[in-house]
Structure 1
Amino acid sequence: MQLRIKILFLLLAAASTHIFAQELVELKMPKSNKVVIKLMFRNGSIADPAGKEGVTQLLTSLITEGGTKELTKEQITDKIYPWAANYSSHVDKEVSVFTFQVPAVFLSKFYPIIKGLILNPSFAQKDFDRVKSNQQNYVDEVIRTSSDEEFSKKALEDLLFRGTNYQHLTAGNSNSLKDITLDDVKKQYKKYFTRNNLTIGIAGNYTPAFLATLKKDMQALPALQGALPVAGRALMPDGINVEIIAKKNALGSAIFGGFPMNLTRANDDFAAMMVANSWLGEHRKEYSRLYQKLREQRSMNYGDYTYIEWYDNGGANMLPPPGVPRSSNYFSFWIRPVQTAKGLKGQYPELNTINIGHAHYALRMLLKEMDNMIQNGMSQQDFDLTRDFLRSYIKLYIQSPERQLGFLMDSRFYGRKDYISEMDKLLAKLTLSDVNRAMKKYWQTKNMDIVIVTDQSEAEPLAKSLQENAPSPMSYSNNLKSALPASILEEDKVVEQYPMKVNKVTIISSDLPFTGKERLPKKTM
């Protein structure tokens, strides 16, 4: 009996070590003149306590924008400037990542600063006040005024994940931020920035002795207190539901929509869906179907893209960044702002009788193209070209040591060793039938949430058109229409009547999202 108890104890201890052990990801580059260190904590904004949404991002920003027990932020900046060293932090839903980069010759001088920031942050009140003020301003003003595209994207997540720990912005909401104190930040640090939910990543030209020191020092972090939060799941919409955010003087209609998708990089089907998604709407790629249909052929907007996972800061990033791995996933589409009736009538007198702009038409085109791909699949030629492109393109994701290390660390999150090389192998053996089967399995067009940030003048006419499934003819200037081939005008007749059965349309004011208040609609149709 005693032997069996001892064996059971050892098994439990081994399991505990496996679950909570500090992970290490190495990328040895002996000929490099640089060292990159990444510290990934598995917490993210889902670890924010209720009523303190935004505290994790506030904490990480305070660490990287504050000082240590020995040095102020200003002193650190002065010291590292001659070394060309830099550091930053980023918080997503499930992870918080600190990144440090320095020429190898200055690593020994830079490391005490790294150690001080992570293990002994100053948590000075003046730094806290400054960082909190900036974060409050982002949530109150910047997110809703600087980019309607980012506004609609974050509002879609708010809609899809309503009632879960994925709902709120990583920066929090207006009400919760006001209540966060410096003591709240210190408590979050002790509870969730711990040695046993940490992955250490290191790349470049470093010695075994330095790595041993780094690992040993990070053991000084506190131990995890309790279990890590479980990631919330997106809620499957019942039919097509549209939330229109009416904004004063919006320059167009910015559209983000999507639905939950039970697929991540952990699944081998991800390779097949990479091909399907690339052909439909690869980010910033002009060969994709939506880009060709809406921008190239009809000059409707700047770009039209689709995504099979979270794409951080798509307005600025040409390539997907590392450091944002997620276990809760969804498909989404981004129709960059299309013109409103107000904008079109102001430019073209011949359009002075129209009631709505291009948003309804653009959504119908998206549904038509998705339905066509789901029902009919890709051609062999399109499959071959797209797969070959992706096998080369994904290698651009890791064109720097920092990005290469980041994707290796993300790989561990998904239970993979090297996502890029593994996807390349999966793509190499992929077949057309694999892709066509995967589209039928993971894509659909009947249940989705859609958010449209648009001008106040467009909100009610657009809501009425959507709810009534009214025809949505494309509105061209006379000059453009006269230059279009007959085939495009014929396709327009199909698109303007394409079935789009909308379950519910809600109009809300642009000052309501991300406040922490209950989202009562101005009007529901």
Structure 2
Amino acid sequence: MKKIAAYILPVALLAVSCSKQPQVSQQTTETATTAPATTTTAAYDANEAFGPGKVVELKQPESNKVIIKLMFKNGSMSDPEGKEGLNYATARMIMESGTKDMTISQIKDKIYPWAADYYTNVDKEVTVFTFAVHKDFLDEFYSIIRGLMLNPAFAEEDFKRVKSNQQNFVDQVIRASSDEEYSKKALEDLLFRGTNYQHVVEGTSASVPNITLEDVKNHWRNYFTQNNVLIGVAGNYSDEFLNKLKADVAQMSDVKPNIPKAGQPNKPNGIQVEIIKKDDALGSAVFTGTPMPVTRSADEFAALMVANSFLGEHRKSYGKLYDKIRTTRSMNYGDYSYIEWYDQGGSFQLPNPGVPRSSNYFALWIRPVQIAEGLKKQYSELKDIDVGHAHFALRLAIREVDNLIQNGMTQEEFELTRKFLRSYIKLYIQTQEKQLGYLMDSRFYGRKDYIQELDRLLANLTVEDVNNAVKKYWQTDNMFITIVTDDSEAEPLKQALLNNTPSPMSYSNLVREGLPQEVIAEDNQIANYELNVKDVKIIDSKETFK
């Protein structure tokens, strides 16, 4: 829902070699150079990354495409109280309401033969508009881009459609489409409660009706301005084109936006759990989070990336969590850990650029595990259980984090994981669009080229660096946890968590017979692992995101 395509075609962007040195610019073009082996200071002032004349270039004369990105340091945290979702509605209207000269339908018909693509992505702190087209049609497409950014139509009929879809999302889709994504967004609601980071970017059920077309026009004028934008351009383009792009962006509103400070995560007192009950949930989706004051701007982030990858790299099968929960015990589809927001993790195997954040947290994602009701229907030998696999899986995951904090990684584990990461991070930037996106994200964090700098930081790490960073920044005594589950599971799970009731793993007889004794022995330890649970609340799904 967050990626809003005006017209999307399955066009593969030209892959670019990760070894190429891009040209990057800030007011004037400069060639990227090799930084010192140990990067300890930022290449750029993050506070000065956005504004008039700020440009990131990725020149590729051999390419047959041109990518343009406009990143505004303005996300959902800029929404006024009572009108949460206004920034999202504004971004959608810019993309989906045409221009003063062309309706959205006319634009779609016009760009179809060009295989052009444009969309926006709205997050907490930035909003990014992306345009992609074959170089042969750049001039014609650019006239449309210019119209969308400088003279959006803001038509009443388009506003009604956009707002209706947005209302449907916050009322229905967010609760029904994916319990996994639901649990992640619910965790952020809990973790950032009372701050401008709390609400989902689309707003709330109560706030969306308050948004008017006049609000959208004013928000566009006051927040999508030349003073808080970073221009990005990649591919085969001329200096004349870049100058024209810069000159046109300089015609945007000259208002200096009053961007609020990013909300900071709340500090949990012990383990605080919110169980969201809903009708006919097929499993329990679990997401945990605890504040972590480190982002990509800090060199220590590289050390935490190694530990995180070892514990549970997103959608990878070698991590400790995946091995213990899925591979060994066949409990669910996958289990991972995170040291920053992973956008649309259910859909993408590689992290997307365009969602940089200054408020951060460490998280665990336990993809849905079975509930008692389902297990009892499948296996007669489990007819007496009250709680499904959520309690056991949560204990197992937290125990693995505790083991890593207390015992650290071995030298061999460290070397293997670091070697993997140094190759894997280069896959983040396989396309022009992704490479340009990461270069622009780098400026947000005060860096020049995050991927290159990260590789050098990884090369200079030691296992002691990693283990020390884990001890310094990770802990499991104080966490927020959200669990989306069936209404039949909610109360029994609440009581089990509050009372630290033993949670023996519920296997079918056939599965249990095939398990090694060491797994059974470990299960007994996990079943009695003490969690510092201090509070558990049950929330009806209908009451979330109100």
* 1:206 partnered with 2:237: yes
User: What SS class does the counterpart of residue 190 from structure 1 fall into?
Assistant: helix
CA distance in 1, matches of 2:232, 2:255: 20
Deviation per CA, 1:88-125: give whole Å up to 9, x if none: 00100000000000001100110000000000000000
Specify which of 473, 477, 480 is matched with residue 442 of structure 1: 473
1:69 Cα offset (Å): 0.1
Which stretches in structure 1 are left out of the alignment for 5+ residues?
1-14, 516-525
Partners of 1:22 and 1:197 within 8 A in 2: no
Q: Alignment partner of 2:543: what SS?
A: coil
CA offsets per residue over residues 201-243 of structure 1, 9 Å max, x none? 0000000000000000101111234531110000110100000
* 8 Å contact from structure 2 (residues 50, 73) kept in 1: no
Retained in 2: the 8 A contact 1:197–1:224?
no
> Which residue identity does 1:256 align to in structure 2?
F
State the alpha-carbon separation in 2 of the partners of residues 454 and 357 from structure 1. Answer: 10
Once the two structures are superposed, residues 456-498 of structure 1 have per-residue CA deviations (whole angstroms, 9 ceiling, x without a partner) of 0000000000000110000000000001000100000000001
After superposition, give the CA deviation of every residue in 1:24-81 in whole Å (9 maximum; x if it has no partner): 0000001100000000000100111111100111111111111000000010001100
Q: What is residue 98 of structure 1 aligned with on the other side? A: 129
Query: Unaligned stretches of 5+ in structure 2?
Result: 1-45
Q: Which one-letter code corresponds to 2:408 in the other structure?
A: G
Q: Which amino acid aligns with 2:122?
A: V
Query: Out of 383, 398, 416, which is 1:385 matched to?
Result: 416
**1:56 equivalenced with 2:125 (yes/no):** no
Alignment partner of 1:27 is 2:54:
no
* Residue in structure 2 matching 1:144, options 170, 175, 189: 175
Aligned mates of 1:144, 1:17 — CA distance in 2: 39
Question: CA separation in 2, counterparts of 1:262 and 1:344?
Answer: 40
Aligned twin of 1:5: none
Partner of 2:33: none
How far apart are 1:18 and its partner, in Å? 7.9
Equivalent of 1:87 in 118, 123, 134: 118
- 2:472 matches 1:472: no
Of residues 125, 136, 159 in structure 1, which corresponds to 2:190? Answer: 159
**Aligned length in residues:** 501
Please name the residue that 2:76 is paired with: 45
Partner Cα distance (1:17, 1:432) in 2: 35
Whole-angstrom CA distance in 1 between matches of 2:47 and 2:203: 32
Match status 1:327 vs 2:363: no
Residues 22 and 196 in structure 1, CA contact (< 8 A), matched pair in contact too: no
Q: Distance in 1 between matches of 2:51 and 2:422?
A: 35
Q: Pick from 365, 371, 375: which aligns with 1:344?
A: 375
1:316-364 Cα deviation digits (max 9, x unpaired): 0110000000001011111000011001001001100001001110111
Question: TM-score, normalised to structure 2's length?
Answer: 0.91
Question: For the Cα contact (< 8 Å) 1:312–1:320, is it kept in 2?
Answer: yes
Q: Does 2:457 match 1:426?
A: yes
Please say if 1:513 is aligned against 2:532: no
1:133 Cα offset (Å):
0.6
Identity fraction in percent: 62
CA shift, 1:501, in A, is: 2.1
Cα distance in 2 for partners of 1:482, 1:60 equals 56
The corresponding residue for 1:11 is none
Does residue 358 (structure 1) correspond to residue 385 (structure 2)? The answer is: no
C-alpha distance in structure 1 between counterparts of 2:532 and 2:504, whole Å = 17
Distance 1:209 1:130, change over 3 A: same
Q: Give, in whole Å, the separation in 2 of the partners of 1:419 and 1:20.
A: 21
Alignment partner of 1:231 is 2:262: yes
Q: Which residue does 1:171 correspond to in 2? A: 202
Q: Matched residue of 2:523: which SS?
A: helix
Residue 207 of structure 2 aligns to a residue whose secondary structure is helix
Aligned positions of 1:246-261 closer than 5 A: 246-261=277-292
TM, length-normalised to structure 1: 0.94
Match of 1:121 in 2: 152
Name the SS for the 2:329 alignment partner.
Answer: coil
Relative to total residues, which structure has the larger helix share, 1 or 2?
1
Match of 1:518 in 2: none
Question: Matched residues in 2 for 1:393 and 1:122: separation?
Answer: 43
Amino acid of the structure 1 residue aligned with 2:407 = N
Partner of 1:496: 527
Residues 347 and 18 from structure 1, CA distance in 2 versus in 1: closer, same or farther, beyond 3 angstroms?
closer
Letter in 2 for 1:335: I
Aligned match of 1:180: 211
Query: Which AA in structure 2 matches 1:364?
Result: R
Match of 2:482 in 1: 451
Shift in CA distance, 388/237, structure 1 to aligned 2, threshold 3 Å: same
Q: Which residue of 2 aligns with 1:9?
A: none
Letter in 2 for 1:322: P
Counterpart CA distance in 2 for 1:477 and 1:274 is 37
CA contact (8 A) 2:304 2:470 kept: yes
Please identify runs of 4+ aligned residues in structure 1 that moved more than 2 A. Answer: 15-22, 224-227
**Structure 1 residue aligned with 2:296:** 265
Q: Is the 8 A contact 2:227 2:256 kept in 1?
A: no
Kindly state the Cα deviation for residue 16 of structure 1 after the two structures are TM-superposed. 11
CA contact (8 A) 2:49 2:443 kept: no
Quick check: 1:310 aligned with 2:341?
yes
In structure 1, C-alpha distance between the alignment counterparts of 2:163 and 2:447, rounded to whole Å: 37
Report the counterpart of residue 519 of structure 1 in structure 2.
none
| Residue of structure 2 in register with 1:300 after alignment | 331
Q: CA deviation at 1:366?
A: 1.1
Question: Aligned equivalents of 1:463 and 1:397: distance in 2?
Answer: 40
The CA distance in 2 between the partners of 1:419 and 1:236, in whole Å, is: 29
Amino acid in the other structure paired with 1:139:
V
Does residue 375 of the first structure (1) align with residue 406 of the second (2)? yes
SS in 2 for 1:508: strand
The correspondence for 1:405, drawn from 423, 430, 436, is: 436
- Partners of 1:322 and 1:376 lie apart in 2 by 33
Shift of 1:20: 4.2
Q: 1:329 to 1:400 in 2, by over 3 A?
A: same
- Equivalent residues of 1:57, 1:171 under 8 A apart: yes
Relative distance call for 1:310 and 1:429 in structure 2 (3 A) is: same
Partner Cα separation in structure 2 for residue 16 and residue 135 of structure 1 = 32
Question: Residue 88 of structure 1 aligns to a residue in which SS?
Answer: strand
Render the CA deviation track for 1:421-448: whole Å, top value 9, x for unaligned: 0000000111000000000011000000
Deviation at 1:22, TM superposition (A): 3.8
Root-mean-square deviation (CA, aligned residues, Å) is 1.2
Q: Give the conservation status (yes or no) of the 8 Å contact 1:339–1:357.
A: yes
**8 Å CA contact retained: 1:52, 1:179:** yes
Letter of the aligned partner of 2:511 in structure 1? L
In the alignment, the residues of structure 2 paired with residue 229 and residue 100 of structure 1 have an alpha-carbon distance, to the nearest angstrom, of 28
> Which residue does the alignment assign to 2:12?
none
